[in-house]
Amino acid sequence: MAIPRRRHHFFSRGRWLIPAVTVASVFLLLFFFLSILAPSPNGNRLFLLPRRDSSGENAAANAIEDSQLHVPDKGNERDIWSSRNSNLFYGCSEASNTFRKAQEITHPNRYLLIVTSGGLNQQRTGITDAVVAARILNATLVVPKLDKSSYWKDSSGFSDIFDVDWFIKYLAKDVSIVKELPLRRGQIWAPYRMRVPRKCTDHCYIHRVLPVLKKKHAVQIMKFDFRLANSLDTDLQKLRCRVNYHALKFVDPILRMGEKLAQRMRLRSKHFIALHLRFEPDMLAFSGCYYGGGDKEKTELGRIRKKWKTLHESHPDKARRHGRCPMTPEEVGLMLRSLGYGEDVHIYVASGEIYGGEETLAPLKVLFPNFYTKDTLATKDELEPFSAFSSRMAALDFIVCDESDVFVANNHGNMAKILAGRRRYFGHKPTIRPNGRKLYRLFLNKDYLSHKEFEYRVNKYQKGFMGEPKEIGPSWGVFHENPSSCICEKANNSTGGEIPHSTSRLETFSTLTNTDYEADTPEDPEVDMLLSD
């Protein structure tokens, strides 16, 4: 009797097992079909110079869809349009009581001439440093000559971009400046041409240039870019600030057009962001980075990269890991949305030709539909006086970026550095520098993170990269980006007076050593031109 009972028990259990297996099979099939339809998590999908083998419209549509899937909806609670405690700091570049007037120290028959190189902003650093070099040499400065023959192919002279009369008048107490080298015995005479090492200290100028200047009476320093040390006596650093932030004023036509563009942005919105995108083919080729465009991208950018003979073999993954690659437009947009800037925010983009064109820009425009450039804000006739001159067009972008509530720099070029320093000097207006090293890893794995987690990490990684007071030390970076000697902190009521943000070292003149200047690196004019803006 035991055997039939076991058979009956086995049959009853099997009766329940069959429906269970059927239900499980249905769920497995459903899961299988859903997994096919769902997008696979792939970190490389964020690189939107993607899949160049697909049609442009479909690729752009896919990129837009991906962008929408990964946008954090909520920002954080910080004030996204101002820097914390910025009201406690201000620019202070006045000369000290011991800084003697130019009329007291300038030697007769001692003239310094310089020839700048690069684009607008590299030239600006050269002009600023030339004034300080003339002061170190107790010489009269001849208005600098601008680079007209290299990469930018711009025929503009100093007076076409900057107000030369204002420049001379504003600096009259600091340095004697003339427009042209005076005649010698009624005749034109040629200055002695020479070069100095990069980042040459004041001591270096005294020992290398001054003896020649005393003998020849007029010296022209060629290729004057980064030819003055980063760290100088405090009064010389403050002179740098007076030149860069006060004496160098754009000519009226450029000022009026630049201000008109900024006003048109203000008419559209109370606040706006300016983005220096820097995603042009030459910049990407120089960086040696790869954005997922396959053999076509590698061939196109590789062909451009061959122009720079001094560049080493590129290592795209290494460059990306070290934060040396410009972020894609989509990545910039996702970073800004995570920092609390909503899709209603108006954005001005300062950029040249974007690699990949509209397909590359499409995701950024979806994230920020209120997307403008100088070409969309002004008519062709309005831009016609400037459009044939790269420096004048760059000046228009410079003005709008300077006037913006938030400036975003997607590179480490000279425009980004000068604007960062200028915005610190004039009130610490928010200036966002992407933390490339940290954000690279985050974007690589963004498809595996929730919106909240992604947003949290972006905000965490961007601390110290937002342009706030004291987020960087006084010795960090180049002086034009971090003019610490020219930023003062308001003292509290109990102490009175002002507190310098930092003080620079004082240098003494003894004997020339190897530490007076940094060893000159191999120079490539084309590389300097590229990095200038």
Mean pLDDT of the region 426-443: 94
Residues contacting 33, CB < 8 A, separation 6+: none
Residues contacting 505, CB < 8 A, separation 6+: 231, 233
What integer pLDDT is reported at residue 501 of this predicted model? Answer: 53
Residues contacting 46, CB < 8 A, separation 6+: 66, 70, 328, 330, 331, 334, 443, 444, 446, 447
Token pair for residue 252? 């009226």
Token pair for residue 330? 């989509």
303: pLDDT confidence band, cut at 50, 70 and 90?
Answer: confident
Q: How many CB atoms lie within 10 A of CB 386?
A: 21
Comparing CA positions, the residue from 432, 271, 278 lying closest to residue 346 is 271
What integer pLDDT is reported at residue 23 of this predicted model? Answer: 53
Distances from the Cα of 98 to the Cαs of 113, 127, 158, 234, 486, in angstroms? 27, 24, 31, 11, 17
What integer pLDDT is reported at residue 331 of this predicted model? Answer: 94
User: What's the burial of 506, exposed, middle or buried (CB within 10 Å: 0-12/13-18/19+)?
Assistant: exposed
Out of 275-279, 335-339, 359-363, the most confident range is: 335-339
Q: How many CB atoms lie within 10 A of CB 266?
A: 15
How far apart (Å, rounded) are the C-alpha atoms in residues 411 and 417? 9
Mean pLDDT of the region 337-341: 97
What integer pLDDT is reported at residue 118 of this predicted model? Answer: 87
Comparing CA positions, the residue from 383, 398, 155, 396 lying closest to residue 254 is 396
Comparing CA positions, the residue from 360, 366, 363, 385 lying closest to residue 374 is 385
356: pLDDT confidence band, cut at 50, 70 and 90?
Answer: confident
How far apart (Å, rounded) are the C-alpha atoms in residues 320 and 317? 5
What integer pLDDT is reported at residue 325 of this predicted model? Answer: 84
Q: Which residues pair with 349 in a beta bridge?
A: 275
What integer pLDDT is reported at residue 345 of this predicted model? Answer: 98
Angle CA(246)–CA(250)–CA(252) in degrees, nearest 5? 120
Return the higher-pLDDT residue of 296 and 250. Answer: 250
Return the higher-pLDDT residue of 488 and 22. Answer: 488
Model confidence over 132-178: pLDDT tens digits?
Answer: 999 999 999 999 999 876 656 789 999 999 999 999 999 999 999 99
Strand order in the sheet with 371-372: 371-372, 346-350, 272-276, 406-409, 431-432
What integer pLDDT is reported at residue 528 of this predicted model? Answer: 45
Model confidence over 203-232: pLDDT tens digits?
Answer: 999 999 999 999 999 999 998 989 999 999
**Is 355 in contact with 123 (CB distance < 8 Å)?**
no
Q: Is residue 365 scored above 90 in pLDDT?
A: yes
Residues contacting 477, CB < 8 A, separation 6+: 417
Mean pLDDT of the region 102-107: 97
Mean pLDDT score of the chain: 81
Model confidence over 35-84: pLDDT tens digits?
Answer: 444 443 333 333 333 333 333 334 433 433 344 434 444 444 679 999 99
Model confidence over 375-429: pLDDT tens digits?
Answer: 999 999 999 999 999 999 999 999 999 999 999 999 888 999 999 999 999 999 9
Mean pLDDT of the region 264-277: 97
Comparing CA positions, the residue from 456, 444, 412 lying closest to residue 431 is 412
Mean pLDDT of the region 509-515: 36
What integer pLDDT is reported at residue 329 of this predicted model? Answer: 93
What integer pLDDT is reported at residue 52 of this predicted model? Answer: 35
Angle CA(48)–CA(72)–CA(420) in degrees, nearest 5? 70
What integer pLDDT is reported at residue 5 of this predicted model? Answer: 45
**Is 40 in contact with 69 (CB distance < 8 Å)?**
no
What integer pLDDT is reported at residue 234 of this predicted model? Answer: 97
Of 58-67, 78-87, 111-120, 269-278, which range is least confident?
A: 58-67
How far apart (Å, rounded) are the C-alpha atoms in residues 90 and 36? 59
Token pair for residue 163? 């107000």
Token pair for residue 169? 């008048």
What integer pLDDT is reported at residue 476 of this predicted model? Answer: 80
What integer pLDDT is reported at residue 285 of this predicted model? Answer: 79
